[in-house]
Amino acid sequence: MDKFSIEGPSKIRGEIKISGSKNSSLPILAATLLFNKPVIIKNLPKVKDINTMISLLRSLGSKVILSKDRRIAKIYNKKKIKTFASYSLVKTMRGSILVLGPLVAKYFQSKISLPGGCLIGARPINYHLDALKKLGMDYILKDGYILAKSKGKLKGATIKFPKISVGATENSIIAACLAKGITILKNCAVEPEIKDLTNFLNLAGANITWKGRTCKIVGVTTLNKTEYSVMSDRIEAGTFCVAATITGGNLDILNFDANIIKTELNLLKKFGAKIRIYKKKLSIKGPKNIKPVTNIKTGEYPGVATDMQSQLMVLMCKANGKSYITENIFENRFMHVAELRRLGAKIITKKNKAFVEGNTKFIGAELMSSDLRASVSLVLAAMVSKGKSIIHRIYHLDRGYENIENKLKKIGVRIKRLNYE
């Protein structure tokens, strides 16, 4: 098991290229189960969650050929696909639930383990199950598995999600592509990764249109051979923007459309960052003095991304005044607070709010990662701490950030990956 050693403080400068989006790649890879013909997916990030999804597809019978750099996957589905997704694969990643929709839509049955992943709240899958049931899927829960089946093809329906859910929106869209008739999904999540999924499916011959948070899917009989390049990762880009802001650095972020993180960039401007946006590039310069920003609220897109909450909290610790942030998406996403306190942060949490004192002088310490985004907040804090910090359980980071230590080294961070003795 690996850990990071980081010597602070750092001031970053240079340029970095953003990797493909993990949260876009996962539903797109799951959706390839709908195809009879070969599919080529490009710009995949080299992270553990993608490896897990590819292993899952292979276990189901898909033939997946990866390029040498593992950024391109060519996928063929055999005539007989297995419909059993075992606990050993699904336990490590919640995104595994996304194979449920395509398996039932194409093969009329599935046995899939209840998913695992980050411990950041209940994240119930009932929205997935309820929506798929309205499309014609029957299921029971038995011994930790979802046993699902349908009597032939799924049938279009009008479905309103009781709460906006990214995963349930994705699963329902994928399943509805091959359903008979028209499906109307209301109160959908509209994250850029979902639009990327629908762009991929439409390129392959699906019939999906959007109007606000309503998605209309006209079922088709088959999807065509296609080739698609996944969008860049907006959370990775946002994380590096915070890194530049918190260190007073100067960073060019390449291979990225900044328009999809306008909300977060506007926030960083309030903290004092200077930002210039180009066609496929973003330049950001951190301030000498970070201004406090109050009343930040995470929310569904286009609100502040919950996946950026922990990074923004580190920035609030270094601001020259009090700030607070409200977490509106997950009920258990302040697990990084205890570790930030070990570095010297003064943070008080009350229910879903965190009140941050500011003017924190971080001192290096040993830290423990708890989930993907909390882990990267510890890296950011260590970068602006005095002395050495050791961050344990960085396998959380490897799930979603490609080669993060080498990217950070290139822009001036003193970071090493170490193996446990």
| Continuous segment of H or E residues that includes residue 6 | strand 2-8
CA-only gyration radius of the chain, Å: 22
Side chain identity, residue 310: S
Contact yes or no for 54/72 (Cβ under 8 A): no
Residue 161, token pair as written in the block: 């999600």
Contact indicator for 44, 20 with CB cutoff of 8 Å: yes
Total Cβ atoms within 10 A of residue 143:
8
Q: So which residues are the catalytic ones?
A: 118
E runs forming strands in 100-150: 109-113, 137-142, 145-150
Question: Could you give the count of Cα atoms lying within 13 Å of 389 in the half-sphere of its Cβ?
Answer: 32
d(CA 219, CA 178): 5
Phi, psi of 190 (to 5 degrees): -125, 30
Residues 44, 400: contact at Cβ < 8 Å?
no
Q: How far apart are CA 218 and CA 220, in angstroms?
A: 7
Specify the pairing of strand 296-297 against strand 281-285: unpaired
Q: Assess whether the previous peptide bond of 9 is cis (omega < 30° from 0).
A: yes
